[in-house]
Structure 1
């Protein structure tokens, strides 16, 4: 592998030149290049997933799933960018029939992307893929905990672009990320903690640099009385334990209505007892050692408050692994219920009914995703949630749909990746109006004639004034 350059003024200047060239190529050439990139990622999948396993301790299945979904998102952006962002005619108004209105989307220019360590391929590629499909160049700073994967993404992008440095690797930790935000890039896409997002927004404020933030989550699942309990238990367990629980959209708390609570707990606990964490286990490692302290603190806090561990517990922490931990009798104010644990720990809470479950699921400052399991009432319950994404009778499925926007609100951030909204996140709306003749009653000018204003006054009174 080549040595990664650090961020310099020349990096930004080069990226600007490349961005201008890239935009001039047009949608068709950009689509072909991005599809080449997706093909290269597919061919080099064994190498990339091996690095993901070594660098982040991922389980084999987790690495394969992440790369597969990431490539599919890249292919969707490549194939749909022209449809979403092309110049189009927009319906005008009868007040100005001589004007032709058009809307187009233009790239920002250079986008800075700061990636996370938990999904070092899928998450940054969601932003990078949309950004480059929209016509931008990218300065990419991966997490300092996953630099090798970041280098591979950058190298494969350059290979797909026939050597053009469309995606430039920025090496370093938090200082490099801070420098990227204030470097003069035209937009920043950040994925990480809510606290770090606040610092990035403050750093970007003096230059009014727009920022997309995808932050933490404390995603709830709701299990209604008419749910298929066995399927719900299997789905919730995967949603909580996938990637060893290190997912912003992972299920981190479950509210189960009272009449099916005990049976659901029995089913889920039996399934969880069959899982193992380890080098060849179902669950991979905790990628960042400091996260083990958070997981330990959350489990200990819950147990101190009267919770019971049906599987796992404090004894489940075997660095760098944590065995699946299922907790019951957990109070609502326990840290494992209110704060992001980011580990394979799942509290199951008893709800009086579906209304109680929805109300408690809505608590807290995070509003990223959620899951609802049930029959006829599931859709209505899902519609009452204020998070950015909901899956019904499945877990995390919205993240795998490339046509759907991904993002949250509140402390979970703002802005969207994926889908049409993700493409437009990295483009600026450009409005154009072309005059094609004279208007019978010219209002916009000082030579409008004696009849223009009376005509407008008549419209106000008789047309607009009578509108319903």
Structure 2
């Protein structure tokens, strides 16, 4: 796979320390990654601070032109980078290509959004505007499930509004992000985008660093709480997009055979390793057994394996810690008395593979329902009364997404609006759009990414009052 380097002030740098990157389909190291020192982080932040004054003075159109070139460079490198992404993340090769293509498009899509002053008052007393200024240096900490498609919007939002940025990818999947940094160093002015790789210690250094003005973090609730506590010492602006335990509620007027494929895809996409995937499926008792049968058939048809093998639909769980956690939840599920209709076990051989699993006759009070498994496991929960299903869906500390599935769109809209989540859908689940804000409520996050609201999260609001000139 060759050498990998940090990108600091437009230059490639190695580190004295390195760590192994594991191929989750085989469970063994396939590459080594440089492990950034504190001194290297300090220099990355210093480079970003030096680059900030001239970068913020550029126009939105000028900064957009740079981002378009970066998106085009990523698009041109898809065939080179997709095998690397599959090797470190595990997803099927075609899914890796899709992720890189989506990430490349975000550099264009997010930099098309206008950020204009808000006119608050214009009268005899004078004019009052709410303007938005770049914050300074942003720090982005990205996760391992979709590393590039979650790094690209953070980079784009920060750079488009006039911030500079330091990016830290997950130590489980750092390599493709480092390669993105290498592409950027030939396009962006030095210091505008810096990419440094390392473990949890590097993330803490970033959240504590007085030279970083904002942290955008995507990851688990537990880590997000530590990020927020650490950032409080310097009152950094913080955006947190954290875990979800999304509920989907299926009403009794749908045809299970028609709806099940979409529900299955929304639950098992990326082997269930998506924050907004369906994690709890509430199904009306009238169609419960038929829905379970349909989902079981789909789970048994889904081919699991190495992402490089043709026809594979689901790859491995990305890392050993998460693999062990999912297997532990499945063991608790067996002890609970729930019925595992299909799957429920690790696949033989190397790698972190778990059978696609459908669980029936389960309810709240079990780990599988109350926690976010983040793996290829779906509990199907029976309900009788839809008001009770809404109550049960909302009885959680999570609040990222939720959905209602019905042939009555007006009823579906009314019920979806009662779900306590940052995004709710009718007859759909999973997905983001550049012009639609995304984020969670409760413990699923703070702030929003994407759209004008997300861009303004990388800026500081400023009130400007100008009196009316005397006549």
Q: What corresponds to 2:250 in structure 1?
A: 223
Residue from 197, 204, 221 that aligns with 2:224:
197
1:3 Cα shift? 2.4
Shift of 1:316: 4.7
**Could you say which residue in structure 2 is the equivalent of 1:48?**
81
Larger radius of gyration: 1
Distance in 2, matches of 1:92 and 1:248, equals 41
The Cα offsets for residues 36-63 of structure 1, whole Å up to 9 and x where unpaired, read as 1111111111122211101111112332
In structure 1, the partner of 2:17 is none
Supply the RMSD in Å over aligned alpha carbons: 1.7
Pairs within 5 Å for 1:246-257: 246-257=273-284
Q: What stretches of structure 1 move > 3 A for 4+ residues in a row?
A: 5-8, 315-319
For residues 354 and 187 of structure 1, the distance between their equivalents in structure 2, rounded to whole angstroms, comes to 42
Q: What's 2:315 paired with?
A: 284
TM-score, scaled to structure 2: 0.88
Matched, 1:391 2:425: yes
1:240: Cα distance to partner? 1.1
Looking at structure 1, the residues matched to 258 and 192 of structure 2 have their Cα atoms a distance apart, in angstroms, of 44
- Aligned equivalent of 1:361: 393
1:331 CA displacement: 2.7
Measured in 2, the distance between the counterparts of 1:237 and 1:223 equals 13
Indicate the residue corresponding to 1:159 in structure 2. Answer: 186
The Cα of 1:321 is off from its aligned counterpart by 1.0
Counterpart CA distance in 1 for 2:122 and 2:193 is 42
Cα offset for 1:111? 0.3
Cα separation, partners in 2 of 1:429 and 1:328, compared to 1, 3 Å: same
Cα 1:147/1:368, change in 2 over 3 Å: same
Q: Secondary structure at the match of 2:388?
A: helix
> Partner of 1:321: helix, strand, or coil?
coil
Q: 2:299 aligned with 1:272, yes or no? A: yes
- String of CA shifts for 1:51-90, please: whole Å, max 9, x gaps: 110111111233233223323332111111xx1x23x361
Cα distance, 1:276–1:26 mapped onto 2, change above 3 Å: same
1:238 deviates by: 0.6
Q: How many residues align?
A: 430
Q: CA deviation at 1:326?
A: 0.5
Would the alpha carbon gap of residues 187 and 89 (structure 1) be closer, same or farther in structure 2, given more than 3 Å must change?
closer
**2:469 is aligned with 1:437:** yes
Q: Secondary structure at the match of 1:20?
A: helix
> Out of 384, 393, 403, which is 1:371 matched to?
403
CA shift for structure 1 position 8: 3.6
User: Is 1:179 the equivalent of 2:205?
Assistant: yes
Q: Which consecutive unaligned segments of at least 5 residues does structure 1 have?
A: 440-468
Counterpart of 1:321?
Answer: 353
Q: TM-score, normalised by structure 1?
A: 0.88
Distance in 1 (CA, whole Å) between partners of 2:271 and 2:446 is 25
Give the secondary structure class of the aligned counterpart of 1:212.
strand
Residue pairs, 1:286-435, within 5 angstroms: 286-314=317-345, 316=347, 319-376=351-408, 377-397=411-431, 399=432, 401-435=433-467
Separation (CA, whole Å) in 1 of partners of 2:262 and 2:347: 22
2:151 aligned partner = 124
Distance 1:222 1:98, change over 3 A: same
Distance verdict in 2 for CA 1:59–1:141, change over 3 Å: same
CA contact (8 A) 2:166 2:194 kept: yes
- The answer for unaligned runs of 5 or more in structure 2 is 7-12, 14-35
- Structure 1 position 115 matched with structure 2 position 149: no
Describe the superposition over 1:320-365 as per-residue Cα deviations: whole angstroms up to 9, x where unpaired.
Answer: 1112100101132110100111100001010113222211111211
Which region of structure 1 is more displaced relative to structure 2, 2-11 or 380-389? 2-11
Per-residue deviation, residues 187-227 of structure 1 (Å, max 9, x unmatched): 11111111111112221112111211111111111111122
- What is the DSSP-based 3-state SS (H/G/I as helix, E as strand, rest coil) of the residue aligned with 1:51? helix
Distance 1:344 1:8, change over 3 A: closer
Q: Quick check: 224-233 or 275-284, which moved more?
A: 224-233
User: 8 Å contact 2:120–2:130 — kept in the other structure?
Assistant: no
CA distances 1:120-160 after superposition (whole Å, capped 9, x unpaired): 11112222211111111101111011111120221222223
Deviation at 1:2, TM superposition (A): 5.7
**2:20 match:** none
State whether residues 208 and 233 of structure 2, in contact with CA within 8 Å, keep that contact through their aligned partners in structure 1: no
Partner of residue 106 from structure 2, selected from 60, 73, 78? 73
Who is 2:265 aligned against? 238
Q: Secondary structure at the match of 2:86?
A: helix
Alignment partner, residue 446 of structure 1: none
- Superposition deviation, residue 229 in structure 1: 2.4
Match of 2:119 in 1: 90
Q: Distance in 2 between matches of 1:164 and 1:175?
A: 25
SS at match of 1:204: helix
Q: Retained in 2: the 8 A contact 1:300–1:314?
A: no
